[in-house]
Structure 1
Amino acid sequence: MARVGEINRLRWEDVNLDARFVILYTRKKQGGHLTPRKIPMTQKLYEVLKSRYDKRDASKPWVFWHRYWSRKNGCFVEGPFDDRKKLMKRLCEKAGVRYFRFHPLRHAGASLMDGSNVPLGAIQRILGHENRKTTEIYLHSIGDMERDAIAVFERARKKSRSDSHTEKNRGYS
């Protein structure tokens, strides 16, 4: 659930495969310095990063890098990605879903954790939000709470109507 810029900036020195965490850096304020946060890896992330590490070009510090033609410099340049728009287009096509950008994955992850009763403070730290209100915006499940409440009401109403208000339950035959 990292920001795309955090992933693109990721260097091997910020990946600890033994302790299974990554250090992500983000700019908290406009023009500010990069602020680190330590995030534990999922098993899948560990497997992907371990595989990439085993196959890496040791002369490149970035986890995700590419070689591209720089119009500005008039030559090929190697460096981290700026954007992953083409990657997301290919992944969406492969999955057979409508195209979406990288950022909604942060919202989805936050909502999944919230739906599994992960404390808001933990979600906030994982996402790298300074303000708790920012994290609450991400939690799409907040809107689902009202739907869930109505569903509970509907079940209770149907049970109440069928169990307590029938002629049989009132002693009528």
Structure 2
Amino acid sequence: MAYFLVPEEVSPTEAIIRRRINFSFRLLIASFTSCQIFDFLFSPVWIHGYIWSLNQKVDLELSTKSAGDIFKHQLSVCSYSERLIYSTVLVFIIWIFFLISGFWNENRTIWQLLRLSIIIGVLTAISRCLQMKQRLYSAIHEGFYAYFLIFFTGLILTLQLSERIIDSSAEVKSTSIIKSNFLLQSKKLL
């Protein structure tokens, strides 16, 4: 059963235009996802963001403040537009990192992406732990953010479904041919 349209013939220029539009769309989705992950993991409205905020080195005593006051303080330091720019820059940095590491030149698996993002997350956590000196929760939180962001951004940018669909349709055809040959041979035997 075919779930997608059959492949069509396209001109080379149309193929280039389609690839660029597809990549631009992936960059937009990755930037949006990056911004949402950043907002979710570092917002004091959520308990992990609240604890992360309390563990930061700041001039104010935040332990007596409410989540709303901490959020206002965070927005005074870094506004929404800065967060959006920061998230978009991170997506471009991850894209360049994947270009350098060869994720576009060779076929890579999700497991390789997961392993790479976990390694980078652990290295980020270790470096933040050394920077912040005895603030373990913040280091673990930022290491998890690095892992999570790299994995999902890499997944959005590199996941290719068309190759899998063609392979699966070829497998379906080959299994149907094998089944028909088996039925023909069994009829001959009877």
TM-score (norm 2): 0.30
TM-score (norm 1): 0.32
Higher helix share goes to which structure?
Answer: 2
Q: Larger relative CO (CA 8 A, sep 6+): 1 or 2?
A: 2
Higher strand share goes to which structure?
Answer: 1
